[in-house]
Amino acid sequence: MNRMISKKAILFLILPAIIFAFTVRPADKVVFTGSWKLNESKSEFGDFGGRFAAKKIKVDQKDDAITIAKTSASFNGGDDVTNTETLSFDGKVSESTVFGTAKRKSTIKWADDGQSFVVTNNTNFERDGQTFEIKGTDTWTLSSDGKTLTSNVASTSAQGEFALKCVYDKE
């Protein structure tokens, strides 16, 4: 009899955990895939006047990674420049080249609710024989209707700190 009670007690304790495990799943992650155009009137550029903001962004998001192609004005006033990086959602460091030959190392992490992510990056570049480092974060959120992407950028370098809020409309 005690043996039967023990089995029933164990089943009584374990069964709710099993049911919970199969009915509760993590929050769905938002999907940023698409082409996005900068909405300057909704963006906040601070003292920089938007010269560091990408004019267009093209995003291809998969389950394991996201590829982001940002098109911006060149620093020398020439043709627009597109920088593309693929970031892995498994926490591995991704390397890309930006600003001509500068090397950027980035990681991406989803928020717990799956509704936003943060890209943390470290860029090293050389100019006039000196090496510079820029550390930054870029937090992406998507509006509930999926038509507006907001990118909040914060960067720190030897020249100081700056922040941008860039708002993009889906094309």
Q: Tell me the pLDDT tens digit for each residue of 19-56.
A: 444 433 345 899 999 999 999 999 999 876 677 789 99
Range of the structural domain that residue 47 is part of: 34-170
**Within-domain flag for 82:** yes
Q: Is the pTM of this model over 0.85?
A: no
DSSP 8-state symbol, 101: T
**Within-domain flag for 13:** no
Report the pLDDT value the prediction gives residue 9, as an integer from 0 to 100. 43
**Within-domain flag for 116:** yes
Report the pLDDT value the prediction gives residue 87, as an integer from 0 to 100. 96
pLDDT confidence bin for 6, thresholds 50/70/90 = low
Domain of residue 55, CATH code: 2.40.128.20
**Within-domain flag for 70:** yes
> Where are the extended beta strands (E) located within 6-159?
34-38, 56-61, 65-72, 81-88, 94-98, 102-110, 116-127, 130-142, 148-157
**Within-domain flag for 81:** yes
What percent of the chain shows pLDDT beyond 70?
81
**Within-domain flag for 18:** no
**Within-domain flag for 69:** yes
Amino acid identity for residue 19 in this structure? I
- Number of folded domains that form the chain: 1
pLDDT tens column, 90-133 = 999 999 888 778 889 999 999 999 999 999 999 998 888 888 89
